[in-house]
Amino acid sequence: MKQYMLAVQFDYTAPSLPDDEVQTLYGDVERVNEELRKAGAWVFGGGLLAPSSSTVVRVEGGDTTMTDGPYAETKETIGGFWVLRCADLDEALAWAEKCSRACRGPIEVRPFEDED
């Protein structure tokens, strides 16, 4: 089976949700996570801290530099992700639809490179 990354696109500039809505969202996401586990599609998943917590490591000409992130200045960035094992892209897209509903945001679906 092929593996896919479902990346949650999150707008860190948007106003924060009220606490009760955040708790409802977390519950919805956990229900999808449990469904993924029961279906055998779950490989790994997790939320990420804000881009301001990142460090960018760059090696150029043999020299290494480390700078505070994020790498790119953008409105939306990856806020979390799932790695799934699916029979095909159609199955991954069906899971992405459920994940998008649960986390109330867009989901980017990308296949991993095939291992030789």
Domains of the chain with CATH codes: 2-111 (3.30.70.1060)
Tokens of 86: 């699916």
Q: Is the per-residue pLDDT at 67 higher than 70? A: yes
Among 56, 46, 53, which Cα is nearest to 7's? 46
Q: What pTM did the predictor assign?
A: 0.84
Work out the average pLDDT over 59-76: 87
13-39 pLDDT, tens digit per residue, is: 899 999 999 999 999 999 999 999 999
SS3 47: strand
Please list, in sequence order, all residues whose beta carbon lies within 8 angstroms of the beta carbon of residue 84, skipping any fewer than 6 positions away. 3, 4, 5, 6, 36, 41, 42, 43, 92, 95
User: For helices 89-103 and 19-39, what crossing angle results, to 10°?
Assistant: 160
**Tens digits of residue pLDDT in 70-114:** 777 777 889 999 999 999 999 999 999 999 999 999 999 999 998
Residue 34: its pLDDT value, please? 98
Euclidean distance between CA atoms 99 and 42, whole angstroms: 12
pLDDT band for position 116 (cuts 50, 70, 90): low
Nearest 5°: CA angle at 27, between 92 and 106?
Answer: 40
pLDDT at residue 51 in the model:
87
How high is the pLDDT of residue 94? 97
